[in-house]
Amino acid sequence: MTPIRIKPALLQIHSILGLAAALILSMMGLTGAIMGFEDEIQAALNSSLAHVAPRTEAPLTPSELVARLQADPALGKVSAITLARDPSAAARVRFARKDDGGHPASLLVDPYDGRVLGEPSGESFFTTVRHLHRWLLLPGDGNGAGRQITGAAVLGLVVLLITGIVLRWPKRATSASLWLKPQLALRGRGLHRSLHSVIGTWVLPVYLVIALTGLTYSYAWYKDGLTWLLAPASQTQMPGKAARGGGANSAAEAKPIALDLVWATLREQAGDRFAVMQLTLPAGAATAVRVRTWPSEQNDGRRDEFRIDAATGRLISAERYADKTTGERVLARVLDIHRGSILGWPGQLVFMLAAALMPLFAVTGVLLYVSRRRLRRPMPPLTTVHLVPGE
């Protein structure tokens, strides 16, 4: 019985998957690299616009701020407000989706008098990049075909990483320099192979983390499985979360929203133990306001989340980061792990550079495939030459 040749079969799988997903993975890598320092870039672009002169009077409460903004019908309905404890920080206000399906721009607002300061620069650009990264700008956004395509590409990346390391694994131990040092003196196929394999070894752990965390945004079954593995207790609470999300009201009985009650309940629950606070107002007839608070100006996964009934001021639920288990904290910070920001700016930089290198593997992989096909092409038969006398 002929033994199965594992490595040739894995090479075929690696090549076919690589060719199929090369373009999508390259695009996702480049867009991911662009978003690597999105917060820092936007902060730099809007450094003057996002700050106001501190004053002696207290800033407006969320209800007063919303009332002043809603007085201008051209702005639309307020959907979220982000406030900071820093007295010189402007408030950021987001508006509800327009009737045509487009998102109006967010605005920076003076928290002391509700005066509109302007539209933050770079926001629409990064929104487009994010939609390209997640959904390829295809119709339907997260509910369309784009999410399935990018999810399949990420699954393919996991297979590429596994088959790649198996194909490169030597039969006997080799020196670290041979494994980790690219042979830049080579030319042609040798250089392409060295760049593809050696640099691929460098970034393999980073790509594996990016892929395994990115799949949570593509497939519900994967996210549920991760929740079952890391935080099984929280999974049993998921049905309750869905039920409480819209509040106790039906669509036929809309109750007035009183943000003053939300503000009072929030101050009772969180006090002054936050640097940034975001209120997301309910849509339709619902009255449950979602409030997120962060202990620092960095809006990462280390946040507390409250749901407060804006009709009565009743606290519906409270999820505090300090009370979470280790598994729940990991789930809360999946995006920070995905971007590398959980390791601070050095981690962000490493993950950004690794993402930017994705097109390198697409290009070298295609070149290696083409050269391999040429080497396997059968040589033409030698032509028999008959010599005449005297030749």
Query: What is the extent of the structural domain holding 252?
Result: 232-324
Q: Do residue 277 and residue 298 come from a single domain?
A: yes
In a domain, 278, yes or no: yes
**Amino acid occupying residue 186:** L
In a domain, 329, yes or no: no
Q: pLDDT at position 134, please?
A: 95
The answer to whether 294 and 302 have CB atoms below 8 angstroms apart is yes
Q: Do residue 166 and residue 309 come from a single domain?
A: no
Least confident span in 51-55, 145-149, 165-169, 247-251: 247-251
In a domain, 109, yes or no: no
Radius of gyration of the chain (CA): 28
Question: For residue range 197-230, what is the model confidence (pLDDT) as tens digits?
Answer: 999 999 999 999 999 999 999 999 999 999 999 9
DSSP class per residue in 142-163: GGSHHHHHHHHHHHHHHHHHHH
Q: Do residue 274 and residue 157 come from a single domain?
A: no
Question: For residue range 226-263, what is the model confidence (pLDDT) as tens digits?
Answer: 999 998 877 665 444 444 444 444 444 556 788 899 99
Q: Is the pLDDT of residue 15 over 50?
A: yes
Q: pLDDT at position 248, please?
A: 46
Residue range 90-100: average pLDDT? Answer: 81
Q: pLDDT at position 382, please?
A: 55
Q: pLDDT at position 35, please?
A: 96
Q: Do residue 25 and residue 148 come from a single domain?
A: yes
Residue range 370-380: average pLDDT? Answer: 74
In a domain, 219, yes or no: yes
CA 178 to chain centre: 34
Question: For residue range 17-54, what is the model confidence (pLDDT) as tens digits?
Answer: 999 999 999 999 999 999 999 999 999 999 999 999 99
The answer to whether 313 and 265 have CB atoms below 8 angstroms apart is yes
Percent of the chain with pLDDT over 90: 65
Q: pLDDT at position 165, please?
A: 93
Structure confidence at residue 135 as a pLDDT band (50, 70, 90): very high
Q: Do residue 237 and residue 348 come from a single domain?
A: no
The answer to whether 216 and 210 have CB atoms below 8 angstroms apart is no
The answer to whether 266 and 274 have CB atoms below 8 angstroms apart is no
Q: Do residue 219 and residue 238 come from a single domain?
A: no
Q: Is the pLDDT of residue 10 over 80?
A: yes
Q: Do residue 155 and residue 224 come from a single domain?
A: yes
Q: Do residue 158 and residue 246 come from a single domain?
A: no
Q: What pTM was computed for the model? A: 0.86
Q: pLDDT at position 73, please?
A: 81
Q: Do residue 156 and residue 225 come from a single domain?
A: yes
Q: pLDDT at position 2, please?
A: 42
| pLDDT mean across residues, the chain | 87
DSSP class per residue in 187-225: -THHHHHHIIIIIHHHHHHHHHHHHHHHGGGT-HHHHHH
Question: For residue range 345-360, what is the model confidence (pLDDT) as tens digits?
Answer: 999 999 999 999 999 9
Q: How many domains does the chain have?
A: 2
In a domain, 220, yes or no: yes
Sign of CA dihedral 45, 49, 50, 52: positive
Q: Distance between CA 376 and CA 367 in Å, rounded?
A: 14
Least confident span in 126-135, 238-247, 279-288, 292-301: 238-247
